[in-house]
């Protein structure tokens, strides 16, 4: 049963999704299914975003149990699949000065953005259940906004006024979920339009212009 909803203090969006970036994973000559995956295309689902577990529980938009489960998933996704860069300066070109920290995994050192909170998406085709993942704030020359661990941007539906995100930005296909994350260099960031996803993306057209406002 869905918990009763009330007005929350969660992060608010200032504008809607204006379009989808043509993002491709890895190189253009990559024949794998990953090469055509786009985290900003597909079915849109209602989303809730929070800066902390306590904020989610206080908002009463989903159950406290779902808040806890989503927060735990967000931390796991952040640690295992979050955006990675070879240098702090490269990371900060996308996420802004002071927003990147040194990290490491499996003997590999890199820099990643600070986790800004988490986003929960309503999976309408699975009995109204919810899934969560990490959320990062981008603050770059390409427009900024809030993005999930898997690369999709949060936006607002003009018709309903609700916060939305693409379903695959919360629940990516297994081929994406199981792919090893790649450490991006400054060259790859510039060539891909600054996109800060957890893997290697190439942008061939403009992305979302919407995003969260203060």
Residue 3: inside a domain, yes or no?
no
Residue 194: per-residue pLDDT: 47
Domain count, the chain: 1
Q: What's 82's DSSP letter?
A: S
Helix (H) or strand (E) holding 53: helix 53-59
| Domain span including residue 109 | 13-212
Q: Secondary structure of the chain: what % helix, strand, coil (to 5)?
A: 25, 30, 50
Q: Which pLDDT score, from 0 to 100, does residue 126 have?
A: 58
**pTM for this predicted structure:** 0.73
Host H or E run for residue 75: helix 64-81
Q: Residue written as tokens 């786009």?
A: 38
Cβ contacts of 34 within 8 Å, gap of 6 or more: 25, 26, 175, 176, 179, 199
- Asked whether residue 6 is domain-assigned, the answer is no
Q: What is the mean pLDDT of each run of 10 residues along the chain (214 residues)?
A: 46 34 35 64 91 96 95 95 94 92 85 96 77 90 83 90 92 89 82 44 28 36
pLDDT at 204 (0 to 100): 23
Compute the distance between CA of residue 39 and CA of residue 147 in angstroms, rounded to an integer. Answer: 10
**Alpha helices (runs of H) in 82-181, residue ranges in sequence order:** 88-95, 174-177
In a domain, 2, yes or no: no
**17 is a domain residue:** yes
Q: Give the Cα separation of 188 and 201 in Å (integer).
A: 8
């Amino acid at each position: 049963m869905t918990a009763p909803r009330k007005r929350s203090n969660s992060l608010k969006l200032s504008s809607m999704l204006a379009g989808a970036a043509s993002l491709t994973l890895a190189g253009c000559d990559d024949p794998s299914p990953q090469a055509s995956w786009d985290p900003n295309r597909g079915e849109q689902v209602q989303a809730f975003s929070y800066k902390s577990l306590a904020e989610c529980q206080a908002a009463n938009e989903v159950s406290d149990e779902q808040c806890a489960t989503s927060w735990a998933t967000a931390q796991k996704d952040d640690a295992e699949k979050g955006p990675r860069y070879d240098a702090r300066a490269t990371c900060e070109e996308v996420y802004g000065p002071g927003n990147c920290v040194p990290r490491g995994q499996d003997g590999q050192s890199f820099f990643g953005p600070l986790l800004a909170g988490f986003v929960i998406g309503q999976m309408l085709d699975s009995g109204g259940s919810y899934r969560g993942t990490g959320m990062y704030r981008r603050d770059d020359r390409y427009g900024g906004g809030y993005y999930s661990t898997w690369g999709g941007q949060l936006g607002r539906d003009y018709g309903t006024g609700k916060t939305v995100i693409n379903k695959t930005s919360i629940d990516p296909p297994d081929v994406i979920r199981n792919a090893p994350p790649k450490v991006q260099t400054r060259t790859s960031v510039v060539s891909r339009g600054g996109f800060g996803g957890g893997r290697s993306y190439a942008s061939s057209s403009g992305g979302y212009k919407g995003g969260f406002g203060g």
